[in-house]
Amino acid sequence: MPLLEENPTFTGRPETHKFAGILFDMDGTIVDSTDAIVKHWHKIGKELGVDPAMILQSSHGRRSIDTFQLYDPSKANWEYVSHVEGLIPRQFGLDAVEVPGARNLLASLEAAKVPWAIVTSGTRPLVTGWLDVMKLAHPRNLVVAEDVKEGKPDPECYRLGREKLGLSADTRVLVVEDSPAGIRAGKAASCNVVGLATTHDIAQLRENGPDWIVKDLQSVRFVNRNADTGEVAIEILHSLE
């Protein structure tokens, strides 16, 4: 797990905050499919005649359609991208693991009927494929790559996520992200952001301004939902000092 800062101290005192809803990124936040994605892009790189290492340098947190636009614009269409992404969980499902704490957190939110959604740079077949393979809770709302004109760090995706939850722009919404581009998108959408140190080093997370940095979802805990106001209490533990 990338924590590349000397002696990081995840000793922040527990804080409880109230939100109207929660928006999660997918890869690196709920599921760590790094090994699967590496194998996927190695396969694609060979097909395109492009060094996979070059593709991998810029592909994380970026929509595949934007990556294909760089290397083979003829494949930068939703039919092709949805097809190849839908194959990833089936071909490389054994190479993915859930981010620690993800299963329990999503299950507790779903049980309490908390407004939550996944907002991802992946396509719908990729997201639903991973949730099925990993047997994780499915949200009632998804914002996927094909739903927006611009990918992260553009804030359009998180604004759309808020709208899909039926929340107004002045409500307090929590975004949970692992990538610098996603953190920037969440902040630009006027959300509070928890940055997970699961795929990027701490320095990269810090410079993009999340409100908290934690190791993984074991440090994000559902407390309760107010039956009258609908507000969701979330406890953030062991944040980076």
Annotated catalytic sites, by residue? 25, 27
Q: Which residues contact 47 (CB under 8 A, 6 or more apart)?
A: none
Of the candidates 233, 25, 222, which has an alpha carbon nearest to the alpha carbon of residue 122? 25
Of the candidates 143, 190, 192, which has an alpha carbon nearest to the alpha carbon of residue 169? 190
DSSP 58-118: HHTTS-HHHHHHHH-GGG-SHHHHHHHHHHHHHHHGGG-EEPTTHHHHHHHHHHTT--EEE
| End-to-end Cα distance, the chain | 19
Tabulate helix, strand, coil % of the chain (nearest 5). Answer: 40, 20, 40
Give the neighbor-by-neighbor strand order of the sheet with 220-225: 15-19, 232-236, 220-225
Are 1 and 197 in contact by the 8 Å Cβ rule? The answer is yes
Instruction: Indicate the SS3 state at residue 192.
Output: strand
Of the candidates 202, 221, 208, 187, which has an alpha carbon nearest to the alpha carbon of residue 10? 202
